[in-house]
Protein backbone atom coordinates (compact mmCIF):
# COMPACT_ATOMS: atom_id res chain seq x y z
CA UNK A 1 0.00 0.00 0.00
CA UNK A 2 1.32 3.38 -0.90
CA UNK A 3 1.25 6.08 1.62
CA UNK A 4 -0.04 9.20 0.04
CA UNK A 5 -0.75 12.20 2.03
CA UNK A 6 -3.67 14.15 0.92
CA UNK A 7 -3.48 17.80 1.64
CA UNK A 8 -6.74 19.52 2.28
CA UNK A 9 -7.77 22.02 -0.42
CA UNK A 10 -6.63 25.51 0.45
CA UNK A 11 -8.81 28.50 -0.13
CA UNK A 12 -7.06 31.54 -1.54
CA UNK A 13 -6.18 34.24 0.97
CA UNK A 14 -7.92 37.57 0.95
CA UNK A 15 -4.70 39.24 -0.26
CA UNK A 16 -4.46 36.86 -3.22
CA UNK A 17 -8.08 37.54 -4.19
CA UNK A 18 -7.58 41.32 -3.99
CA UNK A 19 -4.36 41.11 -6.04
CA UNK A 20 -5.94 38.93 -8.72
CA UNK A 21 -9.05 41.13 -8.93
CA UNK A 22 -6.96 44.32 -9.18
CA UNK A 23 -4.76 42.79 -11.89
CA UNK A 24 -7.82 41.77 -13.88
CA UNK A 25 -9.36 45.25 -13.58
CA UNK A 26 -6.10 46.91 -14.73
CA UNK A 27 -5.87 44.54 -17.70
CA UNK A 28 -9.47 45.27 -18.73
CA UNK A 29 -8.89 49.04 -18.45
CA UNK A 30 -5.74 48.76 -20.60
CA UNK A 31 -7.61 46.84 -23.30
CA UNK A 32 -10.48 49.35 -23.29
CA UNK A 33 -8.01 52.27 -23.51
CA UNK A 34 -6.19 50.61 -26.42
CA UNK A 35 -9.46 50.03 -28.27
CA UNK A 36 -10.55 53.62 -27.66
CA UNK A 37 -7.20 54.95 -28.94
CA UNK A 38 -7.45 52.73 -31.99
CA UNK A 39 -10.97 53.93 -32.72
CA UNK A 40 -10.06 57.57 -32.13
CA UNK A 41 -6.73 57.75 -33.95
CA UNK A 42 -6.90 54.84 -36.38
CA UNK A 43 -4.49 51.97 -36.54
CA UNK A 44 -2.63 52.47 -39.81
CA UNK A 45 0.86 53.90 -40.02
CA UNK A 46 -0.36 56.46 -42.54
CA UNK A 47 -3.52 57.37 -40.64
CA UNK A 48 -3.85 61.03 -39.84
CA UNK A 49 -3.20 61.71 -36.19
CA UNK A 50 -5.27 64.19 -34.23
CA UNK A 51 -3.31 66.15 -31.65
CA UNK A 52 -5.18 67.54 -28.71
CA UNK A 53 -3.44 70.50 -27.14
CA UNK A 54 -4.27 70.71 -23.46
CA UNK A 55 -2.19 73.77 -22.60
CA UNK A 56 -1.70 77.00 -24.51
CA UNK A 57 1.35 77.02 -26.76
CA UNK A 58 4.41 78.60 -25.22
CA UNK A 59 6.43 80.84 -27.49
CA UNK A 60 9.97 79.47 -27.97
CA UNK A 61 12.71 82.08 -28.46
CA UNK A 62 14.77 81.79 -31.64
CA UNK A 63 17.57 83.73 -33.33
CA UNK A 64 19.39 83.57 -36.63
CA UNK A 65 22.18 85.39 -38.42
CA UNK A 66 22.25 85.31 -42.18
CA UNK A 67 21.51 86.92 -45.49
CA UNK A 68 18.01 87.91 -46.57
CA UNK A 69 16.93 85.80 -49.53
CA UNK A 70 13.32 87.03 -49.73
CA UNK A 71 11.43 89.96 -48.27
CA UNK A 72 7.86 91.20 -48.43
CA UNK A 73 5.62 93.49 -46.40
CA UNK A 74 4.61 90.50 -44.22
CA UNK A 75 7.72 88.31 -44.10
CA UNK A 76 11.49 88.08 -44.20
CA UNK A 77 13.36 84.91 -45.18
CA UNK A 78 16.99 84.57 -44.11
CA UNK A 79 19.58 81.90 -44.95
CA UNK A 80 22.47 81.21 -42.54
CA UNK A 81 26.01 80.40 -43.64
CA UNK A 82 25.28 76.71 -43.01
CA UNK A 83 22.41 76.80 -45.55
CA UNK A 84 19.56 76.84 -42.99
CA UNK A 85 16.72 79.08 -44.16
CA UNK A 86 13.69 80.26 -42.21
CA UNK A 87 10.83 82.59 -43.05
CA UNK A 88 9.70 84.95 -40.32
CA UNK A 89 6.40 86.80 -40.09
CA UNK A 90 6.97 90.55 -39.68
CA UNK A 91 4.15 92.68 -38.34
CA UNK A 92 3.39 96.02 -36.71
CA UNK A 93 5.36 94.98 -33.59
CA UNK A 94 8.53 93.89 -35.44
CA UNK A 95 11.43 96.25 -34.76
CA UNK A 96 13.71 97.03 -37.74
CA UNK A 97 17.13 98.16 -36.54
CA UNK A 98 19.32 99.77 -39.19
CA UNK A 99 22.33 102.07 -39.13
CA UNK A 100 19.83 104.92 -39.53
CA UNK A 101 17.91 104.00 -36.38
CA UNK A 102 15.11 101.79 -35.16
CA UNK A 103 11.71 101.61 -36.85
CA UNK A 104 8.86 99.61 -35.36
CA UNK A 105 6.50 98.00 -37.84
CA UNK A 106 8.37 98.35 -41.11
CA UNK A 107 10.91 95.52 -41.16
CA UNK A 108 9.52 94.39 -44.51
CA UNK A 109 10.44 97.68 -46.14
CA UNK A 110 13.62 98.47 -44.18
CA UNK A 111 15.60 95.55 -45.65
CA UNK A 112 16.31 94.12 -49.09
CA UNK A 113 17.51 90.83 -50.55
CA UNK A 114 21.22 90.21 -49.80
CA UNK A 115 21.23 92.37 -46.66
CA UNK A 116 23.08 90.64 -43.82
CA UNK A 117 20.93 90.58 -40.70
CA UNK A 118 20.50 89.21 -37.21
CA UNK A 119 16.94 88.17 -36.38
CA UNK A 120 15.42 87.44 -32.99
CA UNK A 121 11.91 86.21 -32.51
CA UNK A 122 9.70 83.41 -31.28
CA UNK A 123 8.11 80.28 -32.68
CA UNK A 124 4.49 80.09 -31.67
CA UNK A 125 2.17 77.35 -32.91
CA UNK A 126 4.79 76.42 -35.51
CA UNK A 127 5.11 79.93 -36.94
CA UNK A 128 8.34 81.94 -36.69
CA UNK A 129 7.59 85.56 -35.77
CA UNK A 130 10.37 88.15 -35.87
CA UNK A 131 10.41 90.54 -32.95
CA UNK A 132 13.50 92.36 -34.27
CA UNK A 133 15.48 92.35 -37.50
CA UNK A 134 18.82 94.13 -37.22
CA UNK A 135 21.38 95.06 -39.83
CA UNK A 136 24.43 92.84 -39.14
CA UNK A 137 26.71 95.88 -38.86
CA UNK A 138 24.53 97.30 -36.09
CA UNK A 139 24.05 93.97 -34.29
CA UNK A 140 27.85 93.47 -34.30
CA UNK A 141 28.11 96.87 -32.56
CA UNK A 142 29.69 98.46 -35.65
CA UNK A 143 26.95 101.05 -36.10
CA UNK A 144 27.00 104.72 -35.17
CA UNK A 145 27.11 105.65 -31.46
CA UNK A 146 23.74 105.53 -29.71
CA UNK A 147 24.27 108.95 -28.08
CA UNK A 148 24.49 110.65 -31.45
CA UNK A 149 27.95 112.04 -30.67
CA UNK A 150 31.21 111.39 -32.47
CA UNK A 151 33.26 108.38 -31.48
Structural domain count of the chain: 2
Report which of 60, 78, 72 is spatially closest to residue 122, judged by C-alpha positions.
Answer: 60
Residue 149 lies in a domain: no
Give the tens place of pLDDT for each residue, 17-41. 777 777 777 777 777 777 767 666 6
Question: What's the whole-model pTM score?
Answer: 0.55
32 and 80 both lie in a single domain: no
Give the tens place of pLDDT for each residue, 84-138. 999 999 988 888 888 877 777 777 778 889 999 999 999 988 999 999 998 888 7
Residue 119 lies in a domain: yes
37 and 70 both lie in a single domain: no
30 and 75 both lie in a single domain: no
24 and 93 both lie in a single domain: no
The pLDDT value recorded for residue 149 is: 47
Report which of 102, 124, 142 is spatially closest to residue 56, judged by C-alpha positions.
Answer: 124
74 and 29 both lie in a single domain: no
Residue 144 lies in a domain: no
Residue 80 lies in a domain: yes
For residues 57 and 71, give the distance between their C-alpha atoms in angstroms, rounded to a whole number: 27
| Domain hosting residue 36, numbered range | 13-52
Amino acid sequence: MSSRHHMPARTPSRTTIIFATTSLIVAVIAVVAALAAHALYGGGATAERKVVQLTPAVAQPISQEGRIVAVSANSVTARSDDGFARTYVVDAQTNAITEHGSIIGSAGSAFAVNDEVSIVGVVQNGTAIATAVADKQVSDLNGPPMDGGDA
